[in-house]
């Protein structure tokens, strides 16, 4: 295994190979595609919340959560909403903010299905009210080596799962993101086998830290952050936190996630933040906090489980090198 210092990692190594290769074609076409999609939104097909400029996003206050409070300084709203991964809108960090305006977020329903006693299709407005909204400031870390501190607004996913009552066969939870062909220019590129899918073991999904997320900084999520709802799993690499969910499916067998399918040797099912297990092409020992650490300043040490020690018991007895 070739391990290099993160400072030696060049963008072509961080970006998956097929993405890198299709980038030139992407750049040439994305502009035209996105303009077309924005045109449709402006014509009124987008519904009442097709896009709002940041200042116009509806407020969504959450009661500050004391149990999970951390001392880290929150990343600025500007950085959180302009440096994103959301491949449905392009592979550059700036693409989601640039192109996700066209995403239709109303009407929006989420189907909770599979191994549950009470399968349901819930409207986003019902989901917003299912449990009290809390503000939870979480450390987030991407497998690429950057991190942020984000004041999310939402409630524990367990509130929803308890309502639909998982059957005895339910062992895993699969998350399925939207695939809107007409608003997501990235779907034209087979970087990922769309739709984007992720998964958790049931006990991970039921852990109180796992947040069904509707807002950030006291406002509803802007589209680039995964509107109108996403999951947030703060002890796992960012890719586990699937955006713009349309279905949550309880299943018996471990589901194959989009990134496992794309490169199973690089992205495992568990994807716990783990400084001791390097990615095959770079170390995971340190990270760069966006907005605080410069590109060339010393990086901060990455913490096991991203510092969320309370989840360690979920993995007692597991070999976390084999289960990466
Ligand atoms: N549907 C979908 N969800 C996704 C992604 C994506 O490309 N599509 N990217 C993931 C990755 S790699 C990261 S790091 C986080 C980024 O979330 P943020 O942009 O809100 O920081 O979203 C995750 N969820
Ligand atoms: Mo990521």
Q: What is the pLDDT of residues 112-122, one digit of tens each?
A: 999 999 999 99
Neighbours of ion ligand 2 (CB under 5 A): 85, 142, 238-239
- Give me the pLDDT at residue 91, please: 97
- Give me the pLDDT at residue 56, please: 85
Dihedral pair phi/psi, residue 195, rounded to 5°: -75, 160
Answer for the pair 244, 228: CB distance below 8 angstroms, yes or no: yes
> CB count, 10 Å around CB of 135?
19
SS3 155: strand
- Give me the pLDDT at residue 48, please: 36
Instruction: Report the pLDDT averaged over residues 172-186.
Output: 98
Query: What's the CA gap between 256 and 264, in Å, rounded?
Result: 9
pLDDT-derived band at 16 (thresholds 50, 70, 90) equals low
Q: Is pLDDT at 143 greater than 60 in this prediction? A: yes
Q: Where are the alpha helices (DSSP H) in the chain?
A: 11-14, 17-40, 77-80, 95-99, 124-129, 157-164, 202-206, 258-262
- In 3D space, the residue among 279, 169, 173, 170 whose CA is nearest the CA of residue 231 turns out to be 173
Instruction: Report the pLDDT averaged over residues 181-197.
Output: 97
Instruction: Tell me 312's DSSP state.
Output: G
Answer for the pair 291, 77: CB distance below 8 angstroms, yes or no: no
- Give me the pLDDT at residue 15, please: 53
This prediction's pTM: 0.86
**CA 235 to centroid of ligand 1, rounded, Å:** 14
**CA 238 to centroid of ligand 1, rounded, Å:** 6
Query: What's the CA gap between 194 and 188, in Å, rounded?
Result: 10
Annotated binding residue 93: no
Residue closest via CA to ligand 1's atom 21 equals 84
Instruction: Report the pLDDT averaged over residues 300-320.
Output: 98
Residue closest via CA to ligand 1's atom 20 equals 225
Whether the bond between 228 and the residue before it is cis, its omega within 30 degrees of 0, is yes
Q: What is the pLDDT of residues 71-116, one digit of tens each?
A: 999 999 999 999 999 999 999 999 999 999 999 999 999 999 999 9
Query: What's the CA gap between 49 and 182, in Å, rounded?
Result: 16
Dihedral pair phi/psi, residue 289, rounded to 5°: -80, 115
Q: Is pLDDT at 215 greater than 50 in this prediction? A: yes
Q: CATH 3.90.420.10: does it fit domain 63-314?
A: yes
Q: Is pLDDT at 53 greater than 90 in this prediction? A: no
- Give me the pLDDT at residue 124, please: 98
Contacts of 276 (CB under 8 A, 6+ apart): 284, 285, 304, 320, 321
Q: What is the pLDDT of residues 199-209, one digit of tens each?
A: 999 999 999 99
pLDDT-derived band at 299 (thresholds 50, 70, 90) equals confident
Pocket of ligand 1 (CB under 6 A): 84-88, 142, 177, 196, 225-226, 238-239, 241-244
For residues 143, 148, 153 and 155, what is the CA-based torsion angle, rounded to 10 degrees? 40
> CB count, 10 Å around CB of 125?
12
> Which segments within the chain are labelled E, that is strand?
63-64, 109-114, 120-123, 134-141, 146-156, 172-177, 197-201, 211-216, 219-220, 230-232, 245-251, 286-289, 300-301
Q: Among 2-6, 41-45, 258-262, 268-272, which is the least confidently predicted range?
A: 41-45
The per-residue pLDDT of the chain, averaged, comes to 88
């Amino acid at each position: 295994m070739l391990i290099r210092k993160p400072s030696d990692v060049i963008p072509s190594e961080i970006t998956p190979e097929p993405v890198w290769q299709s980038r030139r074609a992407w750049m040439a076409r994305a502009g035209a595609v996105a303009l077309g999609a924005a045109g449709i939104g402006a014509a009124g097909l987008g519904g009442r919340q097709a896009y709002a400029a940041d200042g116009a996003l509806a407020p969504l206050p959450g009661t500050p959560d004391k149990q999970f409070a951390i001392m880290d300084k929150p990343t600025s709203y500007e950085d959180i909403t302009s440096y994103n991964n959301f491949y449905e809108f392009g592979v550059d960090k700036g693409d989601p903010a640039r192109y996700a305006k066209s995403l239709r977020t109303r009407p929006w329903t989420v189907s909770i299905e599979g191994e549950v006693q009470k399968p349901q299709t819930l409207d986003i407005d019902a989901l917003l009210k299912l449990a009290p909204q809390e503000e939870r400031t979480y450390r987030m870390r991407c497998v690429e080596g950057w991190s942020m501190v984000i004041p999310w607004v939402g409630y524990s996913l367990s509130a929803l799962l308890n309502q639909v009552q998982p059957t005895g066969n339910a062992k895993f939870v699969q998350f399925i993101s939207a695939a809107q062909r007409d608003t997501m220019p990235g779907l034209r590129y087979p970087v990922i086998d769309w739709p984007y899918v992720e998964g958790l073991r049931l006990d991970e999904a039921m852990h109180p830290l796992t947040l069904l997320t509707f807002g950030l900084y006291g406002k509803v999520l802007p589209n680039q952050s995964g509107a109108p709802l996403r999951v947030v799993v703060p002890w796992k690499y960012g890719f586990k936190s699937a955006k713009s969910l349309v279905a949550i499916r309880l299943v018996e067998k471990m589901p194959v996630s989009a990134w496992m399918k794309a490169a199973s040797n690089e992205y495992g099912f568990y994807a716990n933040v783990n400084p001791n297990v390097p990615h095959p092409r770079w170390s995971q020992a340190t990270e760069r906090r966006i907005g605080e650490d410069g590109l060339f300043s010393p990086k901060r040490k990455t913490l096991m489980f991203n510092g969320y020690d309370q989840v360690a018991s979920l993995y007692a007895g597991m070999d976390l090198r084999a289960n990466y």
